[in-house]
Structure 1
């Protein structure tokens, strides 16, 4: 399930942690108390500015630093930052840093998964460490991007972009820092995603209530534009969710991932409840995500450079130049449709 990455930076080490520390993927992290008792981990660049706006862009990557540079910046401001953080996502060399976050392993009955990385088949692969709580575990790999596994009550999360992990350096195994570089893609899709799909997620993940199936270009642009909205403003938060409701599963993943950047208000159960309260065709559409983002003080610029982004409407079968997708009602997964036929299966 774990394979050597197909794409590696030139002269890359085969040790995951060594590659991580040498890469410009590091930032600083503050701990901010939330009303629910769990601290929010807020990312800052090493220059002291909050990490905000579109993530994983060239502008964002230019402000990330190496591990040593991040540690130096943290030491210059003692007591200000709780951790250094490692940003998951594309490194500009053809691959993505990937991360698995197993939360409260005992309470979520994830011991069988965790043991695969401690005494099982994957104990010599990737980089593994205890999470800041001490009750969970991080696994970091490098390879292909994949759709995110956000919080849904299972305790399993996985990302290949748009997120960061607070770095503890508390290796699960004594040889953890020497773990071989591995691509987590097959493991996440074959092992974690099926279990994650059984979580307490909105019905759209299963029922496929999407009214619009968006092109990959549109989804990528929405992931970029929504970061120009304010997740701490509940009015904006609700408006963004309503705008994305017609997209079904991809819309929820975009909205829920962005929601977690709220300093105080994000709660997984509340997010699921509010999402389920939204009605399809609620008088707004995904296009408002772009319009609001473009009207911000620092405006969002469409990275695709097109006037409008194309979608396939399930109800009328309108065609687009980009490959249509098919929504699998049983799994909630989006796949390229055979013979150009989009819709539902």
Structure 2
């Protein structure tokens, strides 16, 4: 069986969606929907998607197994509701999901009542290095886990021209570093470590031309003593051929050793007391965004529909990321540790 897909949105990141669907052998991209027909047509031409048609609106009857929403958050609620009225089996919606927790909760509840699968396109947990990290942690490579630290250093936030060439709306976002970028690690830390009990944050703005914060920290605190630290600075860089591949560097530290991720996508480990680092085998396509994480997330959804495999990042589970994001901003505003309460 081949699944039919419609993508909604023809902006910068929608190109990654279209390109990745084109490579999925279980899928046929049937439509690209955007109010700007020329923009949509150009995007399809760029990626050789000759079989897909362009439309300005989602057909009321649907006719697609998967509807993939790659539009801005302000449009999410209405587009999800339109998709729920069709015969689609699954709906995927980009992050940040909706414009508020309340809106996201309402849409999620409507999907539940409609009996439709709603998945949030939070793709960083599907980056191959994090999948391997989790496997190695579970296999006991580093013993008892102490903490995970990620240092975000994309180096794209300096000066008056920051972000303008690729995603100019970044300059206008009142909530930026955490809402747009660090939300990836809000989710990835949960993927690696489970559910935190408390969070503390210290955020700041270094580039005066943007509206929101572009540097800062947040810390997850777990009841068993583990910690996760996100240390983000969009103005500083790190060693990498492509600073957007991993976006920074990561350390996973435990009682028996350490796992390290560098900016080239290399995973290495060092046993406690050893002087040498050993490579952890990891294969991925460096030419694809984030180790091809868009493709892997999409494949995750198509595999679920075809084979019944367990699903990650369904909307109901993803709401916790929004709750934690709100807690991070509250912590930064008050200078206090914030309890996250029951999940």
Fold-level similarity (TM above 0.5): no
TM-score by length of 1: 0.26
Report the structure, 1 or 2, having the larger strand content.
2
TM-score by length of 2: 0.27
